[in-house]
Amino acid sequence: MADDNSMSGRSSSSEDEDQPTSVRTKIKKEPCQPKARKFSVTFENFRDLPAVKNRGVQSSKFACFGHDWRLQLFPGGYSDYPTPPKGAVGVCVERSNQTGKWPNVKFLFELKSPDGNISLQTSGDPSSYKCYSNTSNICALTTRPDIKHRFLDDKRALTISVVMEINEFVPKNPLAATMLKLFGDEESSDVIFEITKKEEKTKKRRREMASSSVQFHAHRFILEHTSSELAALCESSPEGGMNSPIIINDIKAEVFRGLLYYIYGGEIRQESLMASGKEVIDAADKYGVVNLKLEAEVWYVHSTRITTDNVIDNLLYADAKNLALLKEAVMDYIVKNKKKVMKRVSFKEVPGDIYKDLLAAVSRVLDDSDEDNSDEEEDEEKDDYASMGIGALRQKLDQRGIDIDGSRDTLIAALKKRS
């Protein structure tokens, strides 16, 4: 029968095994998604921890979801995994206070390399933490030699992040669905946009120009908080764009519809973003819908094959639209194909402020591990922003609630300002 007070997941018959020993650890709470909590647990002097199979060591306590927890580590491996990875170090979460019902919580363990990149993930089944069986609730990481080789910092410490998420049904906030119901609602709208397009029409051997138009209804109060540019068009239009539609003739109707749909909280399919990447980027950039622009940029980068024929066009486009991720992809291509690029590509039209981006690409692509002998204090920062990827920089800014649009220098400056 399941026991709600079971903590470590080790068999009750394992009386010959040593009890887990508390060791020196540092615990840090990290930003995470709303339903989850994330803690980084650092085990100091990992090399000195016992390499005896099934012998556990435990971290200091940390509080989460109304309970006190510890992270238990098996530095010498564990013998009874469901599928035994030979010699793999084991890890599990245990509850310190043994009273009350075991909470329905999911666990995800992340093993980090010294540069902060997540290199390995493994998860624990919450149901297995309710029983005495030692066959399923200890998660395997990797071997002790691999940890020593790849995951210890310069002080021989091992950092494991544990993400804990409530595994219960939680109803969603209905606001998003309510907003989407307002999309295209004519009765409540107070703004009309008219997308016009001139098309050639052949009739009786002569060409004529025919105009086609599509109208979209919107709400000014929503535009004021999502697109200052579209809101400004409402202000400058006679009667605010209600009785006299606001004419837009530089964007396709389907692209504008997607833009408005996104503004109202909808998600655009990846296929559409990949098929019309540049058009979406241009529209989102012009009308100030930053997150859509950056999302479309991601799919444009992943659907575009950079070659020597288009490398400069993509670089100039990235510079003109302030697309830092695309610029990073171009720089990486240049570094990886430097001989071919030097032979076939002209850089006459390239702006002169790309050198920092190019040096950052060299650092990423070539994995330059040489130490910087500079005495400047900023070079000794814990986070090496200069060589960090654009995606990682944007994620850090987003976690801090800072604007994520801008060049590499802009993003780094914003992070340093808030550090």
Q: Which two tokens stand for residue 72?
A: 């238990």
- Give the Å distances, CA to CA, from 157 to 27, 110, 152, 252: 12, 15, 5, 56
Residue 326 has pLDDT above 90, yes or no: yes
Q: What are phi and psi of 359, to 5 degrees?
A: -65, -40
Rounded to an integer, the average pLDDT of 380-403 is 76
Q: Where in the chain is the domain with CATH 2.60.210.10?
A: 21-166
Task: Specify the pLDDT at position 102.
Answer: 74
Residue 81 has pLDDT above 90, yes or no: no
Residue 264 has pLDDT above 70, yes or no: yes
Residue 131 has pLDDT above 70, yes or no: no
For the ranges 84-93, 290-299, 363-372, the maximum mean pLDDT occurs at 290-299
Residue 401 has pLDDT above 70, yes or no: yes
Task: Specify the pLDDT at position 373.
Answer: 45
Separation CA 185–CA 218 (nearest Å)? 7
Residue 14 has pLDDT above 70, yes or no: no
Task: Specify the pLDDT at position 82.
Answer: 57
Q: What are phi and psi of 349, to 5 degrees?
A: -90, 0
Residue 75 has pLDDT above 60, yes or no: yes
CATH of domain 21-166: 2.60.210.10
Separation CA 118–CA 2 (nearest Å)? 34
- Give the Å distances, CA to CA, from 252 to 135, 154, 249, 267: 59, 55, 8, 18
Task: Specify the pLDDT at position 168.
Answer: 80
Rounded to an integer, the average pLDDT of 314-342 is 89
Residue 270 has pLDDT above 50, yes or no: yes
Separation CA 265–CA 286 (nearest Å)? 19
| Contacts (Cβ under 8 Å, ≥6 apart) of 91 | 71, 72, 73, 74, 109, 122, 138, 139, 141, 160
Residue 352 has pLDDT above 80, yes or no: no
Which residue, among 55, 72, 59, has the nearest Cα to 16 in the 3D structure? Answer: 55
Task: Specify the pLDDT at position 317.
Answer: 93
Task: Specify the pLDDT at position 353.
Answer: 65
Task: Specify the pLDDT at position 202.
Answer: 56
Q: Report the predicted TM-score, pTM, of the whole model to 2 decimal places.
A: 0.60
- H helices within 252-323, ranges in order? 253-263, 270-275, 277-286, 290-303, 311-321
- 51-60, 314-323, 383-392: segment of lowest average pLDDT: 383-392
Q: Which amino acid is at 275?
A: A
- Give the Å distances, CA to CA, from 309 to 53, 324, 330, 345: 57, 20, 12, 8
For the ranges 196-200, 285-289, 335-339, the maximum mean pLDDT occurs at 285-289
Residue 99 binned pLDDT confidence (cut-offs 50, 70, 90): low
- Give the Å distances, CA to CA, from 101 to 71, 191, 309: 19, 55, 64
Q: What is the mean pLDDT of the chain?
A: 80
Task: Specify the pLDDT at position 363.
Answer: 64
Q: Where in the chain is the domain with CATH 3.30.710.10?
A: 171-303
Better pLDDT: 368 or 19: 19
Please say whether the beta carbons of 159 and 112 come within 8 A. Answer: yes
- 55-64, 234-243, 263-272, 398-407: segment of lowest average pLDDT: 234-243
- H helices within 87-215, ranges in order? 144-150, 175-182
Rounded to an integer, the average pLDDT of 136-154 is 86
- H helices within 183-249, ranges in order? 220-226, 228-236
Task: Specify the pLDDT at position 240.
Answer: 59
Separation CA 400–CA 6 (nearest Å)? 37
Q: Is 270 helix (H, G, I), strand (E, B) or coil?
A: helix
CATH of domain 171-303: 3.30.710.10
Residue 203 has pLDDT above 90, yes or no: no
Residue 191 has pLDDT above 50, yes or no: yes
Residue 127 has pLDDT above 60, yes or no: no
